[in-house]
Structure 1
Amino acid sequence: MPGLSHLKRGLLIGSFALVLLLSGCIGGDYATKGVYGLLPDLKFDLVSETGQRITEADLKGSTVVVFFGFTHCPDVCPTAMARLAAALDRVDQSIGEEVNVLFVSVDPGRDSPEMLGRYTDFFSEYIIGATATEPELREMTKRYRATFGFDEPDQFGNYNVSHPSAMYVFDGSSRARAIFRPADTISDMAEDLRRISGS
């Protein structure tokens, strides 16, 4: 029955086109990677660099960029923070003040609040250091389809930590809007911070 075959093929093509269309609508028009509707809203309960508990409610109304890292990171973390600080410098001051960066340490054994405070102050006043227990951190990273792990310590007790290299961007209503990747330019990151903060 050629007619039925053509009908099925037409329905499949139509369904595939609809999926692509919806994906485009969900992702949004971003210079980086749009993820609107693809990740859960921002939710966390951490200990900040001041030693006080901090949750998503404390940052409500501001654009929040979340990065999972650790202060002993030799390359990925300092590079990411420097790039993000540079992007913030390119954003209008009125908008820049509405952006908070949450540097979430996945190395709670070494990263005390004091250590996090010294680390984040080096890059920008808009970066907040925070951490939690390992089980709490695993729950948070899993929520955003990420993970982390610890290498075996060397003879001096030093070890490396594997962690995501992406930054997760949430709008003032705690909705996931974009992901900044290492390949994204500082200009593109700044452009999307303006777009998200102004929406």
Structure 2
Amino acid sequence: MADPPVPERPGPGIPPRLLYASVVACLVALGVVAVLALARPTDPVQRLADGVIGPRTAFFGATRGGRPSPPFRLRDQRGRITTLDELRGQPVVLTFLFSTCKDTCPILARQIAGALDRLDEPIPAIAISVDPKGDTPSSAQRFLNRMRLGDRMRYLLGSREQLASVWRAYGIQPQGAAFDHSAYVVLLDDRGRQQVSFPADKVTDDGLLHDIRVLQARPTTGGSP
């Protein structure tokens, strides 16, 4: 009778020390990947400068495509004439308010104040009245003082006829007896073009600050739109 076949012995396998070293190496590699991911710039301004993201995705607010802004010539709460031409050369914060507002307007104003607080260099901030009959120089100044914007924002006033063309150009509905006004913050670039807007329910001082810095980081062009 033939002898039964002798089973083959299994190979030597992977030594425990080598297996342990391989596992450790894998864990270290995963840790390095995680650290690099966390170290990747999260500030979109820096990511824009590094080429990580493109300029079309750099803003937190809704883009307005650089549409031209209409020229205007209006007096502020202190009687000073303000024109769009004199504001060119740097970004501008623009919003639409009425001085007796108790809800939306204070929200917009406080977020603007918070963003301006953290800028290295001040930039122009403009409020345009949406209530020509109710807004007066004194009521406008009181509102700005309450919002910590007394010396940092110009509140532009005028008649309905003077303001109507500005409202239309920015797509703003003025305050009415049966409806509320359109509540937006708009950022203009250094040429006065409309670049970004934030509705009242989306605006934050962080978002405004970020988008202002994006505009400040762009090369200054000057000139007319």
**Same fold by TM (over 0.5)?**
yes
Cα distance per residue 1:159-197 (max 9 Å; x no partner): xx6211111110121111110223133212111111112
Higher strand share: 1
Task: Tell me, in whole angstroms, the C-alpha distance in 1 between the residues paired with 2:211 and 2:79.
Answer: 31
Match of 2:128 in 1: 104
* TM-score under structure 1 length normalisation: 0.73
Report how many residues are paired: 162
Task: Tell me, in whole angstroms, the C-alpha distance in 2 between the residues paired with 1:131 and 1:57.
Answer: 18
Task: Tell me, in whole angstroms, the C-alpha distance in 2 between the residues paired with 1:137 and 1:101.
Answer: 17
Question: Which one scores higher on RCO, CA 8 angstroms, separation ≥ 6?
Answer: 1
Match of 1:47 in 2: 75
- Answer whether contact 2:115 2:206 (CA < 8 A) is retained: yes
- Shift in CA distance, 184/52, structure 1 to aligned 2, threshold 3 Å: closer
Q: Which has the larger radius of gyration?
A: 2
Deviation at 1:36, TM superposition (A): 2.5
Corresponding letter in the other structure for 1:104: I
Deviates more, 1:181-190 or 1:103-112: 181-190
Question: Please, which runs of 5 or more residues in structure 2 have no aligned partner?
Answer: 1-53, 219-225
Corresponding letter in the other structure for 1:191: H
Moved over 3 A (4+): 25-28
1:11-160 pair list within 5 angstroms: 29-37=58-66, 39-91=67-119, 93-94=120-121, 97=122, 99-122=123-146, 123-124=148-149, 125-151=151-177
Task: Tell me, in whole angstroms, the C-alpha distance in 2 between the residues paired with 1:150 and 1:192.
Answer: 31
Cα distance per residue 1:111-166 (max 9 Å; x no partner): 122321232233223211111110221211101122224206xxxxxxxx621111
Question: Aligned residues: percent identity?
Answer: 23
Equivalent residue of 2:154, what SS?
strand
* TM-score under structure 2 length normalisation: 0.65
Compute the RMSD of aligned alpha carbons: 2.1
